[in-house]
Chain A
Amino acid sequence: MVQVSDLRPGAARAQIRRLEERVAELESDLTELRRHQVRLAEIVDVVQELLVPLSGRDEAAAAEAIERFQRSL
């Protein structure tokens, strides 16, 4: 809907500027969300590979699991 304020001189420019700012904000919001993908993958990988051996009482097995994991990085 056209608002009265849109008819002022310079209104279009101001509106474009507002839209540009909004797009920049949305882009950075999107980046923030998408950045979680690889970080989540890292954490899940560590949990899957190391949680069980590290929560056991066998220190040698834990150390070996860590070493094996590090070899694959």
Chain B
Amino acid sequence: MRRVDDDGVSVLVGDDRPLDVCLDGRRIWTFWTRRDTDPVAPVDALARGPWPARRAVWPKPLRAHLNGTGRITVSDSVTGRELFDKTVTLGEGSGPIRVQNRRGVDLGIDKSGRLVPTFASRSDRDIEALLDATDAVLEALREAGVEPFIAYGTLLGAVREGAVLGHDSDADLGYVSSHTTPVDVALESYRIQRALAERGLRIARYSGASFKVMVSEGDVTRGLDVFGGFFDAGRLHLMGEINTPFEREWIYPLGTAELDGRPMPVPARPEKLLEAMYGPGWRVPDPAFKFTTSAHTIRAFDDWFRGTQPGIRYWDRHSHYAKRKPPRENPSQLGRKAAAVAERIGATEVLDVGAGRGRDAIWLARQGLRVIAYDYVPRALDLVAEQARAEGLDLEVRHLNLTDGRSVLAEGARLAQDSQPRVILARHVADATSSVGREALARFSSMALRAGGQLLTEFHPTYKTPPGAARVPDHTREEWMIGRPDPEVFAALLRKAGARGVRVVNRKPTTRPVVRVVGVWRGAGK
């Protein structure tokens, strides 16, 4: 075969089979010999054989750790047959290869290709802690009025192995609502979240019917995913992956299965649900299993429940390092403009919507303004908030999600209660959100600016407009861009939301065109 080097793992391939890659006996990665590999030229005469040689390249997050020497074994995930077992030296580093985070927790590649703490490396005590957390969330869900059961990977582990799967990084729970329409299912999900929040649980919502409950065990925080489902016209829709003909009797009344010796609620016919989740081959272990949900199912879930945080994965990933790196010292031009406008109209408060790392927010606070920095990933503002506290600045960080109507209306109502002239700064927000988000920005502005003020926005529009020339469409896009709004359409949106004066100014483009749209709201009676 078979070769392990800085590029990856080369194998001679027959069938498509899952292989486990272990470092010093601990699984760090599983790949499929066809699905996850590319053909390579045979490295030597011995490699020439009836099967093509293929290479699985190291996943990027893993590559960063592969410096030093370690014993790498590659074996068939299903049969356990060893295909490679050698001590190899990788990268330029010396000393042992360690695939661990800074706290020394062992990491492995999960089914989504992320490098995460792995259960297999963890002690019985850690598993116990996870099971305790699972029990606590199950109990909270029951008190909120639904009948939860373990689902997806957690159910698979319980039914197939009676244990938490070694390569699984989270726990999955589900429930099936007694409601039959998505709107009622979402309302119920909000109500459940409220009940859980009252108990002090930390929750991140993913969609109108699913959320993650964060439970900290020692210094590791894990997420327990809660998926809502419902029956309609003989089909089970379970958030995430499932839309299939199903009988209610296959779920309720719930039965019990053991997970590492702990009884856990499972559907009445768990094998039926597992088949819907993993296909008829669910009995055969496959750590590299990837969900392949039908486009039809994805579309239905997208339409009914999703679209409530577009682009969040990008910003979430971004915030991991953003929270350690301070923003630039100088404000943006729009940030400076916000300070000037605030002074001119006598506003003392600036709302920085989509504040990112807080570059403008902290600068504005340093100018003596009261600043509220809003973001749907407020974690990226931790550093600036800390800095502001140290400097005694009036800067508050608040969560705002423009694509969740509840977030916008509640915060809008809060600001409307405290009516005063304000300046709202929204730099590269209109192009980083959906049309729903843009409408919400207009509505939010109308609520926050009841006593008058201005909304200052800048974004990359749909087209280039060289001075004196016709519009040229510009389709280039960065990963964070959700839409490239048409400035005139956006301006019309602001007028509809009550802006009396709206100015559209084309900025001197750098790499791609930038437009500034300013909306002026006049206070009541003005």
B271 at the interface (CB under 8 A from A): no
- Residues of B within 8 Å of A62, CB to CB, are 417
Q: What distance in Å separates the Cβ of A15 from its nearest Cβ neighbour in chain B?
A: 24
Q: What distance in Å separates the Cβ of A52 from its nearest Cβ neighbour in chain B?
A: 13
A63-B414, A66-B413 are contacts. A45–B406 as well, Cβ < 8 Å?
Answer: yes
B99 at the interface (CB under 8 A from A): no
Q: Are A44 and B183 interface neighbours, CB within 8 A?
A: yes
- Residues of B within 8 Å of A59, CB to CB, are 417
A72 at the interface (CB under 8 A from B): yes
- Residues of A within 8 Å of B193, CB to CB, are 72
Q: In the complex, which of the residues A42, A43, A63, A71 contacts B197, with contact meaning CB atoms closer than 8 Å?
A: A71
Q: What distance in Å separates the Cβ of B411 from its nearest Cβ neighbour in chain A?
A: 7
Q: Are A50 and B410 interface neighbours, CB within 8 A?
A: yes
Q: Residue-by-residue, is B181-205 near A (CB-CB < 8 Å gives 1, otherwise 0)?
A: 1111011001001100110000001
CA A73 – CA B410 in complex, angstroms?
10
CA A50 – CA B193 in complex, angstroms?
16
- Residues of B within 8 Å of A41, CB to CB, are 182-184, 186-187, 190, 208
Stretch touching chain A among B61-69, B299-307, B320-328, B507-515 = B299-307
Q: In the complex, which of the residues A30, A35, A46, A54 contacts B405, with contact meaning CB atoms closer than 8 Å?
A: A46
**Number of residues of chain B lying within 8 A (CB) of chain A:** 35
Q: Residue-by-residue, is B295-337 near A (CB-CB < 8 Å gives 1, otherwise 0)?
A: 0000110011111100000000000000000000000000000
Q: Are A34 and B406 interface neighbours, CB within 8 A?
A: no
A3 at the interface (CB under 8 A from B): no
- Residues of A within 8 Å of B404, CB to CB, are 42, 73
Q: In the complex, which of the residues B182, B205, B436 contacts A34, with contact meaning CB atoms closer than 8 Å?
A: B182
Q: In the complex, which of the residues A35, A40, A43, A63 contacts B307, with contact meaning CB atoms closer than 8 Å?
A: A35
Q: Are B190 and A45 interface neighbours, CB within 8 A?
A: yes
Q: What distance in Å separates the Cβ of A49 from its nearest Cβ neighbour in chain B?
A: 8
Instruction: Place the interface of chain A in its size category.
Output: 20 to 34
Q: What distance in Å separates the Cβ of B186 from its nearest Cβ neighbour in chain A?
A: 4
Q: What distance in Å separates the Cβ of B326 from its nearest Cβ neighbour in chain A?
A: 28
CA A71 – CA B221 in complex, angstroms?
20
B409 at the interface (CB under 8 A from A): yes
- Residues of B within 8 Å of A39, CB to CB, are 405, 436
Partner-A contacts on B (CB < 8 A)? 181-184, 186-187, 190, 193-194, 197-198, 205, 207-208, 299-300, 303-308, 399, 401, 404-407, 409-411, 413-414, 417, 436
Partner-B contacts on A (CB < 8 A)? 27, 30-31, 34-46, 48, 50, 54, 59, 62-63, 66-67, 69-73
The 18 listed contacts between A and B (C-beta, < 8 Å) are: A30-B303, A31-B303, A34-B182, A38-B304, A38-B307, A39-B405, A41-B184, A43-B405, A43-B409, A46-B410, A50-B413, A66-B410, A66-B417, A67-B414, A73-B205, A73-B404, A73-B406, A73-B410
